[in-house]
């Protein structure tokens, strides 16, 4: 994406005490901001930014007796349903994907929240980590603007003001703590918070992933593609209404269309080669790699304009997603999928009991004739559906949240559902309200006469199906042993 300038001082941290500052030559990665920032001895507050430029809250740090209390707060109508935190003394320890992009799903501290929250704290013992006093902290959150119980906007958010130099935008925090001299504060905050919350967070996340017999964990999230409603590794022709952002590796042609109404601003449409469009609205920038063919009636909103550029390494992202798709397909199912006949229709019922992740394997032939898909898992549990078959057709069916004739699966509830079409070379979706996100990196996808509530990553895409902006709320973790 375009280089983003450092946030203005008006959006900077709120100082609570007199401060100390890092030296100009403080450790950092090449190309990243090395500006001196005012710091407080043991305490610091900085901004939480969504969508590159929207201030949605704060991140507050307090170190007492080598125990770090990190608090994330959102303000107004903004809530978060997922957070990821990494604390280190060396930025080379940050897990990255192609192009040096941070991968929040691999951060050691992470939580999901159902329902979404406006405040949460992590308690981290720095002595246990063997780091300090100079720290680099990455704070990532998935935030939503909720008005009258409805999600009207979803964004990725990062804490801090230091700019992470990579194709995908991110900020980080650079902080140096001094020794605390207040015994009362040290005893109360250090012992109570460190022993209670610190043990819970550290042990819970650690035990789940680290203390089991598995030694080869795979953590999947969409990475760079997570910012987009649609991510095509080839062409995309025929878009009608896409509520989120769109990225297309090769050529795109749209007419009588709308892009990013539900996720406005920034780079709303990115096309690697030729972009042809007429009679439509882009709610942000339209980025094209080689050629722009702009006909009549194209309107730019939310400060957008047409710009020549190539901000995404499509080959790297698509190769990474293809590998993820193949690896996820090796996961052993821990839940059952059965075909069943109701009085008036044939369908597929999926039943799982795992509170964290339920893995299903489904044959494409079963989906082809189905009139419904019923997903029955515990509240808050994530779902991985591996669909076998090279030619997949899904249409004229409804997706339910429990037994057939139960409630239709709401889009927000489906944010933890991932469909993995790992063998598909042709994927046809029609006359359906599709719920959940999908990986189909090898597929030529044709989507017409329906709506898709989730993130779609595909080989190529054609059709006038509508896309609604409900980002995938991963990550998903599986054992590859």
Question: Which pLDDT tens digit goes with each residue over 49-83?
Answer: 998 889 999 999 988 878 888 999 999 999 999 99
At 341, is the pLDDT very low, low, confident or very high (cuts 50, 70, 90)?
low
C-alpha 433/C-alpha 420 separation (Å) is: 17
**Structure token digits, residue 238:** 């025929």
pLDDT recorded at residue 401 = 64
At 29, is the pLDDT very low, low, confident or very high (cuts 50, 70, 90)?
very low
pLDDT recorded at residue 409 = 58
Please tell me the pTM assigned to this model. Answer: 0.58
C-alpha 10/C-alpha 241 separation (Å) is: 36
Most confident of 19-33, 178-192, 367-381: 367-381
Q: Which residue has the higher pLDDT, 277 or 133?
A: 277
C-alpha 261/C-alpha 251 separation (Å) is: 22
Q: Are 314 and 223 in contact (CB under 8 A)?
A: no
pLDDT recorded at residue 205 = 39
**Is residue 461 left, alpha or beta, with left meaning phi > 0 and alpha meaning psi from -120 to 50?**
beta
pLDDT recorded at residue 209 = 39
Q: Which residue has the higher pLDDT, 65 or 279?
A: 279
C-alpha 91/C-alpha 107 separation (Å) is: 13
Q: Could you tell me the CA-to-CA distances from 134 to 60, 140, 209 in Å, in that order?
A: 16, 20, 28
């Amino acid at each position: 994406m375009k280089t983003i300038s450092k946030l203005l001082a008006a959006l900077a941290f709120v100082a609570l005490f007199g401060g100390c500052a890092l030296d100009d030559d403080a450790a950092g990665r090449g190309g990243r901001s090395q500006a001196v920032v005012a710091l407080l001895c043991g305490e610091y507050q900085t901004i939480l930014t969504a969508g590159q430029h929207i201030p949605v809250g704060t991140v507050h740090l307090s170190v007492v007796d080598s125990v770090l209390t990190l608090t994330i707060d959102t303000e107004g109508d903004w809530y978060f349903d997922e957070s990821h935190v990494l604390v280190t003394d060396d930025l080379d320890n940050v897990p990255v994907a192609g192009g040096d992009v941070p991968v929040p799903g691999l951060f050691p501290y992470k939580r999901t929240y159902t329902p979404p929250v406006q405040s949460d704290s992590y308690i981290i013992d720095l002595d246990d980590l063997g780091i300090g006093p100079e720290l680099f902290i990455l704070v990532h959150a998935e935030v939503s603007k909720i008005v009258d119980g409805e999600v009207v906007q979803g964004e990725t958010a990062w804490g801090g003001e230091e700019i992470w130099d990579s194709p995908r935008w991110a900020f980080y925090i650079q902080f140096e703590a001094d020794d605390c001299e207040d015994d009362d504060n040290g005893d109360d905050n250090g012992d109570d918070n460190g022993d209670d919350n610190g043990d819970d967070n550290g042990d819970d996340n650690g035990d789940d992933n680290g203390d089991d017999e598995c030694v080869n964990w795979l953590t999947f999230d969409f990475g760079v593609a997570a910012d987009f409603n649609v991510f095509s590794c080839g062409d995309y022709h025929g878009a009608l209404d896409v509520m989120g952002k769109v990225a297309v590796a090769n050529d795109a042609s749209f007419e009588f269309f709308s892009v990013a109404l539900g996720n406005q601003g920034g780079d709303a449409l990115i096309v690697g080669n030729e972009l042809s469009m007429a009679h439509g609205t882009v709610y942000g920038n339209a980025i094209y790699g080689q050629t722009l063919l702009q006909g009549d009636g194209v309107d730019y909103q939310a400060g957008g304009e047409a710009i020549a550029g190539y901000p995404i390494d499509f080959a790297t992202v698509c190769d990474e997603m293809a590998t993820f798709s193949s690896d996820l397909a090796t996961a052993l199912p821990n839940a059952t999928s059965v075909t069943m006949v109701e009085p008036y229709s044939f369908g597929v019922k999926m039943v799982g009991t795992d509170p964290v992740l339920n893995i299903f394997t489904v044959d494409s032939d079963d989906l082809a004739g189905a009139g419904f898909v019923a997903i029955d898992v515990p509240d808050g549990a994530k779902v991985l559906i591996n669909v076998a078959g090279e030619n997949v057709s899904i249409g004229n069916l409804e997706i339910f949240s429990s037994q057939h004739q139960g409630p239709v699966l709401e889009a927000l509830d489906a944010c933890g559902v991932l469909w993995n079409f790992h063998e598909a070379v042709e994927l046809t979706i029609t006359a359906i309200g599709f719920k959940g996100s999908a990986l189909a990196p090898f597929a030529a996808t044709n989507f017409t006469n329906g709506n898709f509530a989730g993130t779609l990553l595909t080989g190529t895409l054609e059709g006038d199906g509508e896309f609604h902006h409900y980002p995938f709320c991963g990550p998903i973790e599986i054992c590859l042993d």
